[in-house]
Structure 1
Amino acid sequence: MWEYISLFVLTYLLYHVLYTFYWHPLSRFPGPPFAALTRLYRAYVDCSPTRSFVHTLDQLHARYGDIVRTGPNELHFHSPAAYLEIYNLKNRWDKEQSLYHSFGEDRSSFGFLTYRESKERKDVLSRRFSKKAVQDVQTTVERIVLDLCQTFEENSSSPIDLLYAFRCMTLDVITYLCFANSVDAVHAPNYEAPIILAMDASIPIFVRFKHASFYKNMIMNCPPGLSKIISPATAGLVDLQTLLKHQIQEITTDPSKLENLPHNTTIYHELLRPEAYKAGTAPSSGSLYEESQALLFGGADTTGMTLMHGSFYILSSPGIYNRLKQELLSAWPILDDRSPSWEELEKLPYLTAVIKESLRMSPGVASPLPRIVPESGAVIEHTPIPGGTIVAHASHFVHRNPDIFANPDEFIPDRWLGEQGRTLDKWLLSFSRGPRSCLGQHLAWAELYLCFGHVFRKFDIEIDASSPKKLEWRDCFLPEYIGPHLRAKMMPVSR
């Protein structure tokens, strides 16, 4: 019997190898042989402490060309034009399940796989995240930025960890606006708010466990005791999750309790409106929790990282620093006068250029975002792609493309100025493109303008010697920064 089993296994393996390299619809595309045979290739790269998938893709494209087979049924593209062909308003392609359902947010605007499900949810939430809606709450955003600046003054005698500080600010914004329940992270000692430490701890854990779908079970929904075994820092994340679950349970059990919240612009007010759903069915408490989880991570991490990334390059270049300071001084000559609004700051050309360059240089969501080609197939970069193929492109490769951005590894805000700068706008892909683009991008722009405006106008800033000479990171979907954080002395200006 064992001889027959062994013969069957060997025959199957031989057939699998022959099919993969000779008969599979993607057999004509080059790539690592191991990647063509099994998706464990990606797991091998992700789980290695010294490798990063995005940086590995850089090497693969240098070796194999613009289109690389990165899995048995997966292709990754390098050409900037291919990005716009995959992610655009016309394409309503499904998201790929193994990545998007590894976050424990399957029933959220981020986790819904189909266009129809996502559109229904985003149509409801867009009332809270449109530019007009964000303009209406910008005083709340500014108040939290002012709290951050106050803590900078209180801690001006010692260097401040700007990665943690900016993420504390964005965390307070998203938790108060979306859940009416700010965690007041900006007042945490040394900006080491438990939830921020928990998010840091969860990023490398996620990339190591996502291939077995452990993340959902072991981190996002695990009991506090187990979370402390996985990583003591994740206890802060579980505390906030418990708070959100309790809040959602109360509201869904008794919707009248929405009236007790300090404002009426939370996501719960939108998602529980009966008239918001054509079918008249509101989301379950589980779906509300997963939506809040998606907004929490999306709203707190990427914008805070962009603020830190931009600050690193600004502080490393005296010319850029002085030019930004001068423009802000001209627009806001007397600090005691009314501060410029978001709309007024948007009109400052150099500040706008600095923000765009910060977005370009920051990794944001570092990983490729996989989509499934419809059954009818597609043509990407003049190449026929079979239906059912998983295709992806990382914005990192567009933002660092030398044919679009000269000297792409240098921080050059001037590239965004004038008519030439306006032609680059279509290549700024930090919020992705198409119907599945970032829901909170207007809020992110408001935070970037208000925070950069206030911080660089109100403080003379010196980068601390303990800061890294270069920002290095690993692709863990979000970036995991390697080495010390950016630290700076924040000295309040007197005028």
Structure 2
Amino acid sequence: MMEKLETHLKSLPDASALSSKLSDLVDILIANWKVIALVSPVAFLAYGLLLAVYRLFLSPLAGFPGSKIAAATAWYEFYFDVVKRGRYYYKISEMHDQFGPIIRINPWELSVRDPSFHSTLYVAGSVRRSQIFPQSRAGIGIDGSHPVSEDHDLHRIRRKPLDPFFSRRQVQNYEYMIAEELKVLDDRLRSLRGSNVVVNMEHVYAAITGDVIGKISVMNPPSFVTEPDFSPGWHAVLYRFFAQITLYTHFTFLMGWLRLLPRSVLLTLTPGAAGFKAFTDLIVDHIDEAKRHRLSGKSIETGQQKTLIEHLLDSDMPESEKETSRLTGEFIAILSGGTMTTARALSTVTYFVLADPNIERQLRESLEESMRGYPDKIPRWADLEKIPYLHACVKEGLRMSHGSMRRVPRCSPDVELQYKEFTIPKGTPVGMSAYMMHTDAEVFPEPFSFRPERWLGNYNPLMNRSYIPFSKGSRNCLGMNFAYAELYMALAVMFRPSGPKMALFETDETDVIPVHDIFLAVPKLDSKGMRVTFI
């Protein structure tokens, strides 16, 4: 062995010879620095021009209509996404107006604005394999989670143990816990009656939805509803997380770099990233605690529900899928998504109900019988769904809050897709937007008006086809049932006849109607929130 090692060492170049060659190379570079300085930008420009020519004339997508600048460079999308703070969805809509129902929106992606195509694009796993476009979710800090799992089969492995936990039947088992949290919230809001204290309802709803998703997910979760001012810091951490996502998707390396920095440095550079790091560290602590609890052999007490972490650790997923790093991304996705989208929908409904006395009167009257015995008698989610006017308010609130305004691109890796005369190549990302479908005036007249009555009686069946707040297909929103349960139960408590009476405080519809797409549909960026006083 030693002889082989000595022979190998002797065959290596002499260190002094290597040093001499490197020195010669440096001398050449220094002597020709002017030439290099001139050639480098020219070469870069030539590369850019050749790339643009390929994308415009030789790419498999070259024959699709759309803006030439959008097809030539991703910087066009970057400008509207990052500089204009989440306004590319609106530009895409304008391009559809100009170029038609199917357009190219960047060098590699198509967008379709036609509700009839939605069921073709977003299909169940039994119909065909469906993959996400990785660049649309890369670099956002939830690596390893099921929403960003590109491969169809890997996504199925990761989502399979989650589906039973978030099924309608399982959510019904957690209704008691949702009701308990809402009772705590109701007591606190009623104590504010006549106090003239201004309350940001976005903080309130982020607190209650955060408490609910936290309680089912981890052991010993925090209680945001009982914290001062309903824990505005919790809302701020999540809002800043979403606000930075668009930048991270364009520069996917940034999140990895930021994770390497100490929290004290992050606080100076970017407070949003510092808060997200603290949030991530907290999730890691919860996962490690659950693993220690599992290794200790302690059993769950009789009648106690498993947390989501315990459920996943006890599932038949491969052990590699139970690594802390992967589960961290999974829980960031579940906790952030399960908090903010539902909170936004609740804020939307609350504003429009309070802004129209007639709507508020009808909603309170519709809840009179079912909520008469509250809190001693709490109606079930299934019973609340049967109240027509409440049902209409929930659907209209979800339609106007969208969930996400951003298109949700899907790739068909095995077969071509056909849209009218256009054949879409295999593997091409194609996206459709809830915003465009929810604001289609042909399906929803006066689309920016809150009209619960549009969902009552014999309404246009095309409304159901165009209603996609949770997307559809094999990759639809995991937490849909939890969101519905929270919406029905929370609105029933808030607007029951004997519930807390609210008045809007310096708030108008511009504080609610989404105009920016930051992976979360949000109103104007300088909004102070949906604020009320209790009377």
SS in 2 for 1:187: coil
The offset of 1:335, in angstroms, is: 3.8
Q: C-alpha separation between the residues in 2 aligned to 1:178 and 1:342? A: 21
Q: Which residue matches 2:17?
A: none
Q: Which residue matches 1:406?
A: 445
8 Å CA contact 1:468–1:484 kept in 2: the answer is: no
For residues 23-422 of structure 1, the aligned pairs below 5 Å read: 23-49=58-84, 52-89=87-124, 90-156=127-193, 157=195, 158-214=197-253, 216-217=255-256, 223-232=262-271, 235-252=274-291, 255-257=294-296, 259=298, 263-273=304-314, 276-277=316-317, 282-335=321-374, 337-420=376-459
The offset of 1:421, in angstroms, is: 6.1
SS in 2 for 1:140: helix
**One-letter amino acid of the counterpart of residue 104, structure 1:** G
Once the two structures are superposed, what CA deviation does each residue of 1:74-130 show, in whole Å capped at 9, x if it has no partner? 111111122222112124221111122222222111121112111112111112111
Unpaired runs of 5+ in structure 2?
Answer: 1-34
Q: Structure 1 length as normaliser, TM-score?
A: 0.91
8 Å CA contact 2:201–2:347 kept in 1: the answer is: yes
Q: C-alpha separation between the residues in 2 aligned to 1:6 and 1:172? A: 54
Q: C-alpha separation between the residues in 1 aligned to 2:356 and 2:74? A: 43
Unpaired runs of 5+ in structure 1?
Answer: none
8 Å CA contact 2:248–2:255 kept in 1: the answer is: no
Q: Which residue matches 1:461?
A: 501
8 Å CA contact 2:321–2:327 kept in 1: the answer is: no
8 Å CA contact 2:198–2:505 kept in 1: the answer is: no
The offset of 1:430, in angstroms, is: 0.7
Once the two structures are superposed, what CA deviation does each residue of 1:123-151 show, in whole Å capped at 9, x if it has no partner? 11112111110101110011111111122
Once the two structures are superposed, what CA deviation does each residue of 1:133-186 show, in whole Å capped at 9, x if it has no partner? 010111001111111112212223223211111111000111111113322111
Q: C-alpha separation between the residues in 2 aligned to 1:373 and 1:226? A: 43
CA 5–389 in structure 1, closer or farther in 2 if over 3 Å, else same: same
The offset of 1:282, in angstroms, is: 4.9
SS in 2 for 1:102: coil
CA 478–4 in structure 1, closer or farther in 2 if over 3 Å, else same: closer
CA 66–436 in structure 1, closer or farther in 2 if over 3 Å, else same: same
Q: C-alpha separation between the residues in 2 aligned to 1:179 and 1:222? A: 27
**One-letter amino acid of the counterpart of residue 336, structure 2:** F
8 Å CA contact 1:149–1:455 kept in 2: the answer is: yes
Q: Structure 2 length as normaliser, TM-score?
A: 0.85
Aligned residue pairs total 489
CA 218–172 in structure 1, closer or farther in 2 if over 3 Å, else same: farther
The offset of 1:233, in angstroms, is: 5.4
Q: C-alpha separation between the residues in 2 aligned to 1:310 and 1:333? A: 22
CA 490–214 in structure 1, closer or farther in 2 if over 3 Å, else same: farther
The offset of 1:208, in angstroms, is: 2.7
SS in 1 for 2:534: strand
The offset of 1:339, in angstroms, is: 2.0
CA 461–31 in structure 1, closer or farther in 2 if over 3 Å, else same: farther
Q: C-alpha separation between the residues in 1 aligned to 2:240 and 2:300? A: 31
Q: C-alpha separation between the residues in 2 aligned to 1:110 and 1:232? A: 26
Once the two structures are superposed, what CA deviation does each residue of 1:387-432 show, in whole Å capped at 9, x if it has no partner? 2322111111111111221221111111212343666333221111
With 80-89 and 66-75 compared, the bigger mean Cα shift is at: 80-89
**One-letter amino acid of the counterpart of residue 211, structure 1:** H
Q: Which residue matches 1:476?
A: 518
For residues 431-442 of structure 1, the aligned pairs below 5 Å read: 431-442=470-481
Q: Which residue matches 1:485?
A: 529
Q: C-alpha separation between the residues in 2 aligned to 1:97 and 1:295? A: 19
Once the two structures are superposed, what CA deviation does each residue of 1:247-285 show, in whole Å capped at 9, x if it has no partner? 2224335623584878442122221125x23x5755211
Aligned-residue identity in percent: 25
SS in 2 for 1:69: strand
**One-letter amino acid of the counterpart of residue 92, structure 1:** R
Q: Give 1 or 2 for the bigger CA radius of gyration.
A: 2
Give the alignment's Cα RMSD to 1 decimal: 2.5
Q: C-alpha separation between the residues in 1 aligned to 2:376 and 2:207? A: 27
The offset of 1:198, in angstroms, is: 1.1
The offset of 1:472, in angstroms, is: 4.4
